[in-house]
Amino acid sequence: MFSLTLLLALSAASLAAAAPHPAHDRDRDHDHDHTAPRALSSQWFHPDNHPAHALFRRQTNSTAPTPTQFPAVGSPAWAAAYPQGTPDSNAMPQAWKDALAAAVQAGKIPTIAPSHQSSPSADPTYGSLNPNGPQVCSATYQCVIPGDTEVWNAPPGVIGISFDDGPLPTSDKLYAFLAANHVRATHFYIGENILENWKEFNAAFANGDDIAVHTWTHPYMTTLSNADVVAQLGWTLQLIYNSTGGHLAKFWRPPYGDADTRVVAIAKEVFGLTTVIWNQDTNDWSLGEAGGTNPTAIATNFKKWLTGSKSPGLIVLEHELSTGSVQAFIDAFPLMQQNNWTLRSVAALDGASASYQNAQDSPSQPNLLPLTAGGLDASLALTSSAPAATSASASASLGANAASAGVPAASASGINNQAGGKKNAARAPRAPAAALALSAAGVLIGLFCAA
């Protein structure tokens, strides 16, 4: 087992100030997590022996620059440090390339080829390989990877609250509702959308919600090369880190639920990310589209899920993509309360107060996972289990915390051979665009160097 330490050279695009992450302890008399406002007021720490140090150098009181020394979130200088369009993996930080190479050399990344699509919206295929077999184990085909690298279900009686594809102008109403009702949620953000809608990003973070990764441009991740997978995840992680005062995201959700053993391993081994899927799908992304769902259908499904079995708990795929998708959650909220569900941010399904890979200070470290050969010993991460049964239209559903839900882990052969038609956002593929070059003057975002 090789030892790998990677140090980040933070630049003028890095924000060093961050607020303490609130404990969000649940009040005994309430059935949901409370949120507390946050502001960028102090450093977000991780000690030198913490695994987060291998991705980003710890910010200390003596060395951390003040917020005024860095471009403000939303400023032209802030936005200019990141790719415009699809990231060019050739131009990404060398240290990310080195971390990937180390993980591959250590045998931690499966050697399967990227998947193929017959059309831009078709389910990925793997040639002669079985997508439900242990070599591929594609989430699109409802195959659950054994171990602790995926989350498909919430613990019994719990609804994991999360929203995809933000931040967007339509997010404003959702954030106001969540704050007014003291509901904490996880937002799986698209990197490009953060650049375009930074006010909404700031609002969600200030409200105490959890920020997670939904890639930079929302591609089918299994169709990408190893390096392109790293670029999609790395730049989104870096933008979140630099825009929240140093919070290192702990979770990511693959667009369209498109993940397999290779992609899941890259996310975990290079960046320490746990993959989150879902076990029920509102299909709210298709509201207003020809042949798409409608509010009545979403309400009917919510009623079925919320009045049905509480084991396993629910992770429902929802979006902040449109006014209709936001309203669908607001309309379902009273039913969640009436049926005595516990609402918990997806990033906190394990019951831990810390939903990031690093912490405010040494005593409150959320993770103690040693980095080895560009990867993690994820023995403390959330465990996965077979997802709850879903309809054919929900074939890409993502799954559960076996330890909390008490559900045995599924075999790598999968639980359903039916190909999934589920898409978690109606987004046309983006044309590739060259990433902005990193300037020699020091706009070095997320660089790692072997020590």
pLDDT for the residue numbered 130:
98
**Whole-number Cα distances in Å, 280 to 137, 147, 213, 316, 345:** 19, 21, 20, 5, 16
What's residue 167's pLDDT? 98
- pLDDT over threshold 50, residue 289: yes
Structure tokens of 420?
């999934």
The structure's pTM equals: 0.75
The number of distinct structural domains making up the chain is 1
User: Distance (Å, rounded) from C-alpha 210 to C-alpha 186?
Assistant: 5
What is the structure's pLDDT at 362? 46
pLDDT, average across residues 190-206: 97
Q: Look at residue 419 in the predicted model and tell me its pLDDT.
A: 32
pLDDT band per the 50, 70, 90 thresholds, residue 444: very low
Give percent of the chain above pLDDT 90: 57
Confirm whether 164 is domain-assigned: yes
pLDDT digits over 47-64, tens only? 565 555 555 554 444 444
Burial of 102 (0-12, 13-18, 19+ CB in 10 A): buried
**pLDDT computed for residue 17 by the predictor:** 32
Q: Which of 171-180, 250-259, 389-398 has the lowest mean pLDDT?
A: 389-398
Tell me whether residue 396 is in a domain: no
Rounded Cα gap, residues 367 and 264, in angstroms: 19
The sign of the dihedral angle between the CA atoms of 263, 350, 391, 337 is negative
Active site residue 319: yes
Helices (H), 295-394: 295-307, 323-338
Rounded Cα–Cα distance for residues 438 and 432 (Å): 18
Say which of 164, 165, 228, 284 is annotated catalytic: 164
Among the residue ranges 84-88, 275-279, 352-356, the one predicted with the least confidence is 352-356
Q: Which domain holds residue 262?
A: 6-24+45-116+153-379+426-450
Q: Which residues pair with 3 in a beta bridge?
A: 372
Q: How far apart are CA 62 and CA 85, in angstroms?
A: 37
pLDDT for the residue 52: 52
Torsion angle of C-alpha atoms 302, 354, 236, 282, degrees rounded to 10 = 0
Evaluate whether residue 393 is within a structural domain: no
Least Cα distance to 262 among 79, 85, 139, 168 occurs for 139
Burial of 29 (0-12, 13-18, 19+ CB in 10 A): exposed
Q: Rounded to whole angstroms, what are the CA distances from 190 to 87, 154, 250, 283, 357?
A: 13, 23, 15, 18, 19
Residue 378, pLDDT score: 30
Nearest Cα neighbor of 314 from 158, 210, 151 is 158
| pLDDT given for residue 376 in this prediction | 35
| C-alpha of 67 from chain center | 26
CATH of the domain at 12: 3.20.20.370
CB 98 within 8 A of CB 6: yes
**391 inside domain:** no
Contacts by 59-66 with C-beta closer than 8 Å and gap 24+? 59/10, 59/16, 59/18, 59/246, 64/16, 64/17, 65/16, 66/16, 66/17
Q: Which of 32, 46, 187, 319 is catalytic?
A: 319
pLDDT of 21 over the 90 cut: no
Structure tokens at 322: 């449109």
pLDDT of residue 241: 86
d(CA 92, CA 227): 9
In this prediction, residues 284-311 reach a mean pLDDT of: 97
User: Domain for residue 131, yes or no?
Assistant: no
Average pLDDT over residues 170-196: 98
Q: Are 295 and 132 in contact (CB under 8 A)?
A: no
* Structure confidence at residue 12 (pLDDT): 33
- How many residues in total does the chain contain? 451
Q: Does 65 fall in a domain?
A: yes
Residue 8 confidence (pLDDT): 37
Q: Which positions ≥6 away from 417 have C-beta within 8 Å?
A: 132, 141
CA end-to-end distance (rounded Å), the chain: 16
Q: Is the pLDDT of residue 111 over 90?
A: yes
Residue 417 lies in a domain: no
Q: What is the pLDDT averaged over residues 228-235?
A: 96
Residue with tokens 């076996």: 402
User: What pLDDT score does 242 carry?
Assistant: 85
Structure confidence at residue 301 as a pLDDT band (50, 70, 90): very high
For residue 443, pLDDT beyond 70: no
Mean of the per-residue pLDDT values of the chain: 75
Is 228 among the residues known to form the active site? no
SS3 125: strand
Three-class SS of residue 301?
helix
Task: Give me the mean pLDDT over the 66-85 stretch.
Answer: 80
* Residue type (1 letter), 54: A
Flag whether pLDDT at 187 surpasses 80. yes
**How far is Cα 384 from Cα 325, in angstroms, rounded to an integer?**
27
Q: Which residue did the predictor score with more confidence, 163 or 49?
A: 163
Percent of the chain with pLDDT over 70: 63
Please state, in angstroms and rounded to a whole number, the distance separating the CA atoms of residues 342 and 321.
24
Is residue 420 one of the residues assigned to a domain?
no
Other CB atoms within a 10 A radius of the CB of residue 61 amount to 8
Give which of 117, 426, 162 is closest to 290, Cα–Cα. Answer: 426
Name the pLDDT band for 247 (thresholds 50, 70, 90). Answer: confident
Q: What is the pLDDT of residue 231?
A: 97
User: 14 is written with which tokens?
Assistant: 């890095």
Mean pLDDT for 172-186 is 98
Say how far apart CA 369 and CA 381 lie, in whole Å.
Answer: 9
Q: What is the pLDDT of residues 334-382, one digit of tens each?
A: 999 999 999 999 999 987 656 888 765 544 444 443 333 333 333 222 3
**3-class secondary-structure state, position 10:** coil
Of 91-100, 191-200, 226-235, 337-346, the poorest mean pLDDT is in 91-100
DSSP 56: S
Top mean pLDDT of 53-57, 59-63, 268-272, 329-333 is at: 329-333
